[in-house]
Structure 1
Amino acid sequence: MHRIALPEWAVARGRPVHALSQLDPARTAFVGIDMQCAFTSAGQVFANPHALDILDNVNRLARACRVAGGSVWWTRQTVDDHDPRHADPHWLRLAGDASVATAKAALRAGSDGHALHPGIKVRPGDAVIDKFRYSAFLPGFCDLHTRLQETGVDTLVIAGTLTNCCCESSARDAFMLGYRVLFAADATAAVSDEEHNAALLNLAVMFADVRRTDDIVALLAR
C-alpha cells in the first residue's frame, strides 16, 4: 500500500472549496478508473503491486455507493486503431519503440489486459464503459459525462489507477465540468509513492476533496 503523505497545508488550502460534509447518494456516482488486468495483474505491461493493494478498498467504495443508492461505473482504457474518432494522434501511431506497440496491444478490446481484474466485484446494475483517452470526461472520447447528466449526478467518488494519470485527469476534468469530486487516497494507485503523493497534493489544493476510504464510506452512510 502507498505511504500517503498529504501535507495539511494542502488540505487546508483546498478545504473551503472542496470539503464535503454531506452528499445526496442518489446524485452520487462511484467511478472506478481502469481496474484492468493490464494495470493490476503480475506480468502485464503496466502492472505494479500498489494496484493490487487497493482492490479491497475499491470494492468497498463501490459497495457503499450501491447500498446508499448511488450508481457505479467502471471504465476501461481502450485502444482503437480502426475508428478515426478514437484513434491515437498521428505522431503516436508513428512511434517506433517496441514498448509502445506492446502497451497498445494490452489495451485493445478482447485482450487479457483490457479486461477488468477478476477481483473487481462488478454487480448487476453497474455500468462498464470504454474510454479512449486518459480522462473519462474528455468529450468525444468517453460518454460518461453525458450518461451521468441524464441521471442527475453531481458528485463523484473516484478510485482506481493510475493516480497521477487517468484518475487525476478524470478528476480535474470532472471538477471543471461542475462535479463535486471525492478522491480516494487509499483506493488509487500509482507506480511510486512519489507520483501518488504529488497527484494527491495537486488534487487537494485545486480539484477535489481527498479522503481515505473509511471517511468516504462513512459519508455515504450518513
Structure 2
Amino acid sequence: MEFPKWVTDRVIARQGKLHAYDHFKPEETAFVVVDLQNFFTQPGYMGECKAAPATFPAVNKLANALREAGGHVIWVQTCADNADTFWAHFHHDMLKPELSQRRLTEMSVDHPGYELAAELDVAPTDTRVVKRYYSALAPNSSNLHEVLQDKGVKNVLIGGTTTNVCCESTARNAMMLNYRSIMVHDALSAFTSQEHEFALQAWMLYFGDVLGADDVIARL
C-alpha cells in the first residue's frame, strides 16, 4: 500500500523509519480476524461490506502461514443477543427500529448471519472470541485481552471488516494496552476505499504499522 508523502514524511520524522517492526516472533504473534461473519460479508445481510470477500485469500494465506510458523489465529465474532439492553443507546438512538431488529436477528448466535463465512480457512486449533461492542478490547466486550495474555502475545495483527470501525477500534485498544499493533491492509475492508485509506493513514501516523500479508509473512 502506498501512502502520501506527507504521511510517510511524518512517520519517518517520528520514528526514524517507515515501518517500525522488522521481525515478529511467531509464538508471540496473533492474527486477530474481526467480524468476517456472514452478516458483514454476504449479500442480503444488513451489514454487508461488498469489499470483504476480496480479502479472504490474504486472510487465509496469513492465517495458514502464521499457524505453520507456530503463531496464533483468533477469529472474533460479534453477537447481538440482548444488545438492545446492554447497548441500548446504539440500538434505540442510532438505528431506526427496523434496522435495530434486523441487527438483533441477523447477528443472534443461532442465526446463519452470526457464522463465519464459509470461504475462510478456519482450523480446529484456532481460537474463537465473541464480542459485544465494536472493539473486542473495550470493557466488558470480550475476553480477547485475557486470551492474548494467556498465549504470551506481544504482536497483534488485525484483519477483517470494517477497517475503520470494529477493526480499528480493536486495534487502537490493543496499541494502548501495549501490544505492537499492525493493520494488515489487504486483509481489511471498508464500505468505501476512502474510508479504508483514511483509516490506515491515521493509523500509520499515530498508532502502529500498516503491512500487507506478504510483508508480515516475510517478517515471521
Query: TM-score surpassing 0.5?
Result: yes
Give 1:88's aligned amino acid. Answer: W
Residues 83 and 148 (structure 1 numbering): CA distance in 2 closer, same or farther, change over 3 Å? farther
Alignment of 1:1-222 (within 5 A): 6-14=3-11, 16=15, 19-81=20-82, 87-90=86-89, 92-93=91-92, 96-220=96-220
Q: Identity percentage over the alignment?
A: 35
**Shift of the alpha carbon at 1:39?**
0.9
Give the superposed CA RMSD. Answer: 2.0
In the alignment, structure 1 segments of 5+ residues that lack a partner are none
Partner-residue secondary structure (3-state), 2:119: coil
Q: Between Structure 1 and Structure 2, how many residues are aligned? A: 215
TM-score by length of 1: 0.90
Moved more, 203-212 or 4-13: 4-13
**Shift of the alpha carbon at 1:194?**
0.8
Q: Determine if contact 2:32/2:156 at 8 Å carries over to the other structure.
A: yes
Higher relative contact order, chain-length normalized (CA < 8 Å, sep 6+): 1
**Shift of the alpha carbon at 1:147?**
1.4
**Shift of the alpha carbon at 1:216?**
1.1
2:84 and 2:99 mapped to 1: Cα distance? 22
Q: Determine if contact 1:5/1:197 at 8 Å carries over to the other structure.
A: no
Q: Determine if contact 2:62/2:213 at 8 Å carries over to the other structure.
A: yes
Residues 147 and 41 (structure 1 numbering): CA distance in 2 closer, same or farther, change over 3 Å? same
Q: Deviations over 1:182-213 (max 9, x none)?
A: 21111100000011111111111111210111
**Shift of the alpha carbon at 1:12?**
4.3
2:78 and 2:65 mapped to 1: Cα distance? 24
**Shift of the alpha carbon at 1:89?**
2.7
